[in-house]
Amino acid sequence: MKLHHAFIAGLLACVSDAAVAGLPSEPLVEPLPVGIPVGMAPAVVAKAVKRSLAGRNWMVTREESGYLEGTLMVRNHMLKVGVTYDDRLVTMKYVESTGLGYRERAGRPRIHPKYMHWTRNVMTDLNRMLQDVDLADPDAR
């Protein structure tokens, strides 16, 4: 009986690996950094990052000075990215995921194509937001 359970467990593991391997995947490409207008306060940049994430249904799951983590939950997929900012640039980098088929092939990370779509949308929104004159005012809504 134990052999039967071990066989079933092994078979399920193979099927699971095959399902992940069968997901569409592309090389993981991080979105381009976004420039910050000269003199913009870090608090304003952080606010813009949070708004950009929230506008695309991401949650801020960690916040430190100059760094935010955003988490996106879509059906049974989870994606977490780190957003780093200073006085010049905002950059976004992959942290972890589930259900997106992340793996390394030949030493290069690969992931579901939606990764690039979701992260580029946030960074495009952020770029627009940082150019908004009203947001440049630290007392802005």
In a domain, 71, yes or no: yes
Global confidence as pTM: 0.78
Residue 43 maps to which CATH number?
3.30.310.80
Q: Distance from first CA to last CA of the chain, Å, rounded?
A: 65
Domain assignment of residue 69, yes or no = yes
The mean pLDDT value for 86-95 works out to: 97
112 located within any domain: yes
Residue 104 CB contacts under 8 Å (≥ 6 apart), including other chains: 110
**Number of Cβ within a 10 Å radius of residue 83:** 29
**What average pLDDT score do residues 68-83 get?**
97
- Do the domain assignments include residue 85? yes
In a domain, 141, yes or no: no
**What is the mean predicted confidence (pLDDT) over 14-22?**
43
Host domain of residue 68: 25-136
Q: Please check whether residue 107 lies inside any domain of the structure.
A: yes
Whether 1 is covered by a domain: the verdict is no
Q: How many domains does the chain have?
A: 1
- The pLDDT tens digits for 25-75 are 999 999 999 999 999 999 999 999 999 999 999 999 999 999 999 999 999
| CB 88, CB 36: distance < 8 Å | yes
